[in-house]
A and B are shown apart, each in its own frame.
Chain A
Amino acid sequence: MATRWPLSLESAAPVLTVSGPAGVCMRTRFMRSKGALSSAGFAAFLFLFPGLFFYVCFEIVPLVGTTVLSFTNWNGFDFRQIKLSGFGNFSEITKDHVFWLSLLHNVIFTAGSLTLRLGVALMLALILDQSFPAANFIRGVYLLPTVLSLVTIGVTFKLALSPTLGFIVPFFKAIGLKALAIDNLGNSKTVMQTLVLIDTWCGVGLFMFLFTSKLMTINQDLHEAAKVSGANVFQDIWYVTLPLLKATTAMIMLIGVIESFKIFPTVYIMTNGGPWHSSEVLSSWAYFQAFTANRVGYGSSILFVQLIITVIFAFIQTKYQPREIE
C-alpha cells in the first residue's frame, strides 16, 4: 500500500493504491471521494474568490505599491518619472519634526481614546448586563454612533463646537462653565483632548457590545457561588467577571490600538491637523505630503513607517494575549 499525496488542487484527496480485487474497489471508492472533494474545493474557491479578489485589489496591491513608492521621490505627475531614491525618504523622516509630533499625537490619541473607551464600555456593559426594562433599547442607543459615517460625525461635531454657529459653546456659557466655552478645536491646548472625547463617543458602543456578548456566556452558577460565599457586587466583578473577560479585553485592545493608530477622517474633517500641526497625525501628514505637497514618495514612506509600527503593536499583543479561562 502506498499513499501518494497529489500536489495539485484538482485531486485534493490522497490516492490509496491496493492490489487485487479489493484494491480495485478501494481505488474506486477513493477516486469517488477525490472527485467529491475536488468539487467541494472548487466550490469553496468560487465562494472565496470575490472576497479574495477585492482583498488583493484594495489591500495587497496598494500595500505593495505604497511600499515601493516609499523608496522613490515621485511627485505624482507622471508614472514614467518614478525613480528609486533609496532610503532618502526615511532619512528625511528622522529630521522631520512634524512627523515626530504626529507620531506623538497618534500615541496620545491611541492611549487616551482606548483607555476611555475600554473603561466606559466595560462599565456600561456591566450595568446593562442586569435585567431591567429598556436595557436592550439603551444598548442600541449606545451602539448607534458606531454605524454612523466618520465624515458625518466630523462635520456634525465641527459645527456643534463652533463658537460662531454651534450650540455647545453657548451652552457652556449659559451654565457658567466659561473655561470650557472656548474654541476647543481651534486651540492647540485643547484640540487633542476634544478629538479623543469625540472618538470615545464614536467607539464606545462597539466595545460595549463585545463585552456584553462575552458577559452573556458567563455561567451564572459562578456568580451564585460567589454570592453564597459572601462576595458583594464589587468583589463578584473583581474576582469572577473580570478574570473571565481577560481574553476579550485583550482582543478589544488589539482592535482598538490598530483602529486608533490609523485615525484619519475625524482629524481631516474637523481640524485638518491644525492649528499649526497640534492635531496632526501620521495619516493626515502623509496625506498632505502625497496629495497636496506633491511628494507621493515621502507620503508613502510615512505610511510605511505607520504600518511597521502597527504590525509591531499587533505582534506584541497577539504574542502576549491571555488565554481564555473556561
Chain B
Amino acid sequence: MMRQRLGLLVLPLLLISVLGFSQGKVTLNWWHEFGSGGEKDGMDLLISTWNKANPDIQITQRPIGNEEFFTVIRTGLAGDQPPDLLQYEGNQQTRDFAKAGQLQDITDIWNQVKDNYTLFRDNVISGISYEGKVYALPYSWHGGFQIYYNKDMLAAMKMPVPKTFEEFLADCEKFKQKGIAPISLGAKNGWPAMQWWQIFLAQRVGAKRVNDALWLRNGVKWTDPDFVQAASEFVSLKTKGYFSEGFASDDYGTAQSAFYASKSPFFETGTWLINDAADNPPPFNFGFFPVPRYSNAKVKTDSVGALLTTFGVPSRGQHVPEALKVTKWLSGPQANGIWARRAGVIVLYKGLMEKFAPGYLNEIFAAVYKDVKGGTVPWLENESPPAVGEDLIYNGTVAMLTGDLTVNQFLTNLQAGYEKYR
C-alpha cells in the first residue's frame, strides 16, 4: 500500500521532469574576465536582456580574474570542459585557439554584419580571424593615444595643455624642477612601459612599418633606424627623470593611485581609464589630451589601439547550436547598442557610439580616434607570440629604463625573438 502511494507521488514528478526536458530548455555558461566596472555591467545587461527574451536558452556567467583568466580558459578548453560562450582578447589568442581547433567558425555570421565595421577595419579583421575564417565578434576597442592629466596641477603651474611633444617635455621639466615626478608610471608587469614606447612608435615609425616588423614582412626590421629613434626617445623620458621613482617595481594600480593622489600630473594608459574615472572620479579636475606629436614627427596620422574584447564559441561546448544563436544576436545592433551604452568602452559598430555611448566616452572617441586617418599601432603583446610579447617586450621595455638593456640590445633581442617564434 505504502509503495503504491509512493509510486503515485513519484510518477507525476517524473512526468514533469521529462516534460521539462522535452521542452528543450538549455542553460549556457559564459566565461569572461569582467568582475567589476562598466564591462561587468555590460555583461549583466546583455545576459538579462537575452534571458528575458529567450526562456528556452538561458545564460549564466562566470567572471574570472584578469590575471588568471587566460590560464583558466586554456585549461578549460584543453580539458574538454569549455564554456558555451567565451569572451577573450582576440588577436594572438584568436590565432592560438583557432589553430588548436578550439573555436567555432562564425564566418557566416560575420559576413552579415561586416559592413558595419569601417573604423580600424584591418585591426578588427586581424583580431578575429585566422587563415581567412572568422572566429569571434569584435566588441571592445581600446585606444592608447591619450594622456590623462590633473588640471589643477597644471593650473597651479599656469601651464596650458601642451599642443606639441616638445611643449609636453618642457612641462615635464618644469614639474621636475619643482620636485614633482611629472609622469606616474607603474611598470612592474611591463605593459605600461610598452604603452609609452608605442606612442613613439606611432610618431616615428608608423603603424604600417610596425605591423610589417611584427610579421617579418617587406624587409622591415626592429633594428631599423626609425625604431632605434623611437626607443631612444622613450628611454630619454627616464634619463631626464620624468618617470616616478618606483616605476620599475610599482604596478599599474599603484601608479594610478599615485596619480589620483596628485603625486604626478600626467598618467598615460588606455581608454579603459575614462570609464573607471567616471565611476570613481579622482579628487581633482580630471582631463585628457591626445598625445601631442613631435613637430618633426615622420608620421602625423597614426594612433595606438586595438581590439581588446571579442566574443567566441568554443567548438567543443555542450550546446554549440544554441551558443551560435546567441552569437547571431550578439552580432546585431541591439546587443552592440547595449554594450555601447553600458560597458564604457569604444564600440566600433557603425553609428552606435554617437547614439548610445555616455558623453565622457564620446568626448575621448571624438577627440582622439573618430577621425584618425591613418592606421593604429596595435597592443604589441596581443599580436606577438607570448614568449616575445610577455617577456622580450614587457620585460625588455622596463629593462631599457632600468639600464639593464641598451636600446640596441632590446631591439636586437626583439628581432631574434620574432624570427625564432613566428
User: Residues of A at under 8 Å CB distance from B?
Assistant: 75-79, 81, 158-159, 161-166, 169, 183-188, 270-278, 288-289, 291-295
Interface residue count on the B side (C-beta < 8 Å): 44
Q: List 13 A-B contacts (CB under 8 A).
A: A75-B100, A78-B77, A78-B100, A162-B250, A163-B245, A163-B246, A164-B255, A183-B248, A186-B248, A188-B402, A188-B404, A275-B249, A293-B391
Q: Is the CB of B102 within 8 A of A186?
A: no
Q: Is the CB of B245 within 8 A of A164?
A: yes
User: Which of B19-27, B156-164, B297-305, B393-401 participates in binding chain A?
Assistant: B393-401
Nearest-Cβ distance from residue A4 to partner chain B, whole angstroms: 49
Give Cα A51 to B74, complex, Å.
30
Q: Is the CB of A165 within 8 A of B258?
A: yes
- Of the candidates B75, B79, B254, B396, which one forms a contact with A162 in the assembled complex, judged by CB atoms under 8 Å apart? B254
CB of B281 within 8 Å of the partner chain: no
Knowing A78-B100, A162-B250, A274-B248, say if A288 contacts B402 (CB, 8 Å).
Answer: no
Knowing A272-B189, A276-B405, say if A186 contacts B246 (CB, 8 Å).
Answer: yes
Majority DSSP secondary structure for residues of A touching B: loop
Give Cα A292 to B244, complex, Å.
28
B399 contacts which chain A residues (CB < 8 A)?
Answer: 274-276
Q: Is the CB of B402 within 8 A of A186?
A: yes
- Of the candidates A159, A273, A276, which one forms a contact with B254 in the assembled complex, judged by CB atoms under 8 Å apart? A159
Knowing A275-B404, A276-B404, say if A183 contacts B246 (CB, 8 Å).
Answer: yes
With A79-B78, A288-B391, A291-B70 given, name 11 new contacts (CB 8 A): A77-B77, A77-B100, A164-B250, A165-B257, A166-B246, A274-B395, A276-B405, A278-B404, A291-B71, A292-B391, A294-B96
CB of B226 within 8 Å of the partner chain: no
Residue interface mask B347-370, A partner, CB < 8 A = 1: 000000000000000000000000
Give Cα A289 to B385, complex, Å.
12
B404 contacts which chain A residues (CB < 8 A)?
Answer: 188, 275-276, 278
Query: Closest A-chain residue to B398, C-beta based?
Result: A275
A184 contacts which chain B residues (CB < 8 A)?
Answer: 249
Interface residues of B in 231-284 (CB under 8 A from A): 244-250, 254-255, 257-258, 261, 263
Nearest-Cβ distance from residue B394 to partner chain A, whole angstroms: 9
Query: Closest B-chain residue to A288, C-beta based?
Result: B391
Nearest-Cβ distance from residue B386 to partner chain A, whole angstroms: 5
A185 contacts which chain B residues (CB < 8 A)?
Answer: 248-249
Nearest-Cβ distance from residue A156 to partner chain B, whole angstroms: 13
Nearest-Cβ distance from residue A290 to partner chain B, whole angstroms: 9
Nearest-Cβ distance from residue B403 to partner chain A, whole angstroms: 8
CB of B97 within 8 Å of the partner chain: yes
CB of B387 within 8 Å of the partner chain: yes
